[in-house]
C-alpha cells in the first residue's frame, strides 16, 4: 500500500525499489498493481511480492531515439537508467522524449451522453443526466476535464435526449471549444451504436467513456495497458463486494456440505470505460441500436482479444438518486481542491 500511495502522489506511473546503495531491486508500475487487484493480493504484504524483479532498463549511453525504439518494442513508457554497478542514475519518460520529436497523432475519446437517464427521474425530465451537478458543476464537465488533463485532445460527445441543452452548455465553456465535437443520434443507438457515426476513423486505439461517471481512473494508463496487452477491446472492471444477509448452503444433491453464514461475495463489474482498436468499428452496424456488450461478443466471435483493465482508483457510477447523492458527498472530500491558508 505504501507503493500505491507513492505512485499516486508522484503521478509518474512507476515506483523504484532500491537498496541502501541505490541499486535497483525492482519496480512497481500501475500495471503491477492492477494485476495484483485481479489476483486479490493483500496490499498489506511486502512490495517485493508484486514488484517486477527484472524490469527493462537502459544504460546512460543510449540516445533518445534508441530509448524510444525500446519503448515502442516493449510498450513500457518509463525506463530506469542504470550505471555499471546497477545504480539508478535517471529515468526516461516517454512524454519527455516525445516533446523533442514531431507532434504525435491526436488522442481520441468518445463520451456517451445520449441516454435518457430514466432511473434518475424526475431530475432528468428537464435536465439531461450529463448536466446534473456534482460539486456545483455538470457531471459531463468533470469527465471532460479529466480526459483533457489525461492528454486527450479530440473528444466526441454523443447526444440525443435534450441534445441542445448539452450543446449549449458545452459551447458556453471556452476551454472546450477546440477539443470537443458532437455526434448527433437521430434515435437512441445504445451504448455503442453512435460509434458508427464517427466522422473519421481514429488512427490509433481510442477511449470510450460513459458520461455519468465520477472517477479518478488513470485513463492514460488504460491506453498504455491496452497496447501492452495487445487487446482489440479493453474493458475497465471495478471489484464490488456484497454481503449476503443470510446463511448460504453448499449442496451436493440434497446433502448439505456446509453453510456459510452471511458470506461476502466479490464480483468484477463493468465500469463504463473502454479502449477500442479502430478496426473494431467494422463490427458495429450503422443505423441501429448496438451496445458495448454486443461489441465484446462480436469481437470474441472474431477471435479478437478482449481484455480487462482492473480499476483500483475511486469510481462512482451515477445511475440512481442514491448514487448521485454519494457522488456529491465524495466530491467535496476527494475532488475539491483544499483551500490554502492565508
Which positions are annotated as active-site residues? Answer: 262
Half-sphere exposure of 258 (CA within 13 A, CB side): 4
Pair 108, 207: CB distance under 8 Å: yes
* Residues in CB range of 111: below 8 A, 6 or more apart: 140, 143, 144, 147, 155, 156, 157, 158, 209, 210, 211
Cell triple for residue 305? Answer: 482479444
Count other Cβ atoms within 10 Å, centred on residue 47: 18
Beta bridge partners of 267: 240
Q: Report strand pairing: 14-18 vs 24-29.
A: antiparallel
Pair 195, 284: CB distance under 8 Å: yes
Pair 189, 288: CB distance under 8 Å: yes
CA nearest neighbour of 154 among 99, 200, 187, 197:
200
Count other Cβ atoms within 10 Å, centred on residue 210: 24
Q: Report strand pairing: 247-252 vs 255-261.
A: antiparallel
Q: How far apart (Å, rounded) are the C-alpha atoms in residues 128 and 131?
A: 6
Q: Rounded to 5 degrees, what are φ and ψ at 59?
A: -80, 165
Element spanning 15, H or E: strand 14-18
Terminus-to-terminus CA distance in the chain, angstroms? 33
Amino acid at each position: 500500500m505504501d507503493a500505491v500511495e507513492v505512485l499516486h502522489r508522484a503521478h509518474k506511473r512507476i515506483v523504484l525499489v532500491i537498496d541502501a546503495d541505490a541499486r535497483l531491486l525492482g519496480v512497481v508500475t500501475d500495471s503491477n498493481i492492477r494485476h495484483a487487484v485481479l489476483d486479490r493480493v493483500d496490499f498489506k504484504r511486502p512490495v517485493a511480492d508484486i514488484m517486477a524483479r527484472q524490469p527493462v532498463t537502459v544504460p546512460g549511453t543510449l540516445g533518445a531515439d534508441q530509448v524510444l525504439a525500446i519503448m515502442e518494442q516493449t510498450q513500457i513508457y518509463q525506463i530506469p537508467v542504470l550505471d555499471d554497478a546497477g545504480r539508478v542514475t535517471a529515468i526516461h519518460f516517454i512524454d519527455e522524449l516525445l516533446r523533442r520529436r514531431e507532434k504525435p497523432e491526436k488522442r481520441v475519446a468518445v463520451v456517451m451522453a445520449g441516454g435518457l437517464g430514466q432511473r434518475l427521474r424526475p431530475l432528468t425530465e428537464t435536465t439531461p443526466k450529463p448536466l446534473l451537478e456534482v460539486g456545483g458543476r455538470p457531471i459531463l464537465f468533470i469527465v471532460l476535464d479529466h480526459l483533457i488533463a489525461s492528454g486527450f485532445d479530440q473528444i466526441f460527445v454523443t447526444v440525443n435526449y435534450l441534445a441542445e441543452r448539452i450543446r449549449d452548455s458545452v459551447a458556453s465553456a471556452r476551454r472546450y471549444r477546440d477539443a470537443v465535437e458532437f455526434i448527433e443520434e437521430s434515435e437512441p443507438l445504445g451504448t455503442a451504436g453512435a460509434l458508427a457515426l464517427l466522422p473519421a476513423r481514429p488512427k490509433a486505439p481510442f477511449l470510450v467513456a460513459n458520461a455519468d461517471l465520477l472517477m479518478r481512473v488513470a485513463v492514460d494508463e488504460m491506453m498504455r495497458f491496452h497496447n501492452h496487452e495487445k487487446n482489440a477491446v479493453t474493458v475497465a472492471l471495478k471489484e464490488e463486494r456484497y454481503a449476503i444477509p443470510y446463511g448460504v448452503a453448499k449442496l451436493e444433491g440434497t446433502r448439505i456440505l456446509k453453510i456459510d453464514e452471511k458470506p461476502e461475495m466479490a464480483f468484477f463489474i463493468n465500469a463504463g470505460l473502454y479502449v477500442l482498436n479502430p478496426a473494431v468499428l467494422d463490427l458495429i452496424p450503422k443505423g441501429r441500436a448496438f451496445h458495448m456488450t454486443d461489441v465484446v461478443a462480436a469481437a470474441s466471435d472474431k477471435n479478437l482479444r478482449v481484455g480487462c483493465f482492473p480499476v483500483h482508483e475511486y469510481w462512482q457510477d451515477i445511475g440512481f438518486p442514491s448514487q448521485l447523492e454519494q457522488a456529491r458527498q465524495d466530491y467535496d472530500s476527494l475532488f475539491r481542491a483544499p483551500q490554502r491558508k492565508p
